[in-house]
Structures are given as C-alpha cells and as structure tokens.
C-alpha cells in the first residue's frame, strides 16, 4: 500500500484512490452511449431541425425551405435523428411529417441554451 501512481513520482494520488475513481465511473459502454448521444446535438443542422420541430410538426420539404438547405441534406440528417429516436414521423400521402419523439429533447436543448447564455 501507499503506492503512488506510475506516471509522476510524486504521490498525488495513491493507487487505491485512483482505483476508487475508476469504480465510481459509469461503465465503459455507457460512456460511449453518452458521447454518442451528445454527438447528435453536435451538428448545427440537426440542432436547427430539432428547433423547427419543437415549434410544429413539419414535412421534410418545409424544413428544407425554412433552413434554406437541400431536401437531400435534410433527409440525411433526419435519418440520423430517426435512428437515434429523437424524432418520430407519420406519413400522409406523399408527405411525411416529422415531430419530436418526446419532450425530453426540448429540455436538453433548453439546458444547453441556458449554459451558453452565461
């Protein structure tokens, strides 16, 4: 005991302390899931889409119009949002309407906005 970490000779932290921190960390897989989750919000196009959908249920082409982007670009990003269950959709004839999967999404966005406004 009283073994220090290997990196620095100084006893900043004992080995059992380092171990204790490791114990308290969420499991590896959860950490990956978490960063993957935040990654989705890490693209401005997707964030814009989410804000549009927080206002109304909107079809793909209307999103493209509002954001002044191509239908293809929007569709690709909607696929990401869909795959990660952030949005849901409903078909009405040729049109597909998208909306937020749940209110949780808005909470996350709001929380983020609050942070950057400091």
Query: What tokens does 17 get?
Result: 């302390």
Looking only at the bridges linking them, the beta strands covering 87-92 and 58-59 are unpaired
The site string for a second copy over 20-59 (x = CB under 8 A, - otherwise) reads xxx-xxx---xxxxxxxxxxxxxxx-xxx--xx--xx-xx
Which of the listed partners (a second copy, DNA, none) does 11 bind, with a CB threshold of 5 to 8 Å by partner kind?
A: none
Nearest approach, Cβ of 24 to DNA (angstroms)?
21
- Per CB under 7 A, the list member of 45, 84, 99, 106 interacting with DNA is 45
CB 81 within 8 A of CB 50: yes
Angstrom CA distances, 109 to 40, 70, 76, stand at 12, 24, 21
CB 41 within 8 A of CB 35: no
Name the residues that contact a second copy, by CB under 8 A.
Answer: 5-8, 10, 12-13, 17-18, 20-22, 24-26, 30-44, 46-48, 51-52, 55-56, 58-59, 61-62, 64-66, 71, 94-95, 97, 104, 107-109, 111-113, 115-116, 118
């Amino acid at each position: 005991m009283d073994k220090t970490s290997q990196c620095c000779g100084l006893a900043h932290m004992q080995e059992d302390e380092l171990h204790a921190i490791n114990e308290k960390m969420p499991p590896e897989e959860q950490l990956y899931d978490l960063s993957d989750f935040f990654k989705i919000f890490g693209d401005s196009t997707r964030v814009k889409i989410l804000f549009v959908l927080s206002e109304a249920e909107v079809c793909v082409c209307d999103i493209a119009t509002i954001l002044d982007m191509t239908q293809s670009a929007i569709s690709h990003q909607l696929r990401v949002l869909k795959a990660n269950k952030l949005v849901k959709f409903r078909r009405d004839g040729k049109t597909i309407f998208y909306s937020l999967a749940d209110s949780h999404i808005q909470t996350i966005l709001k929380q983020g906005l609050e942070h950057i406004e400091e």
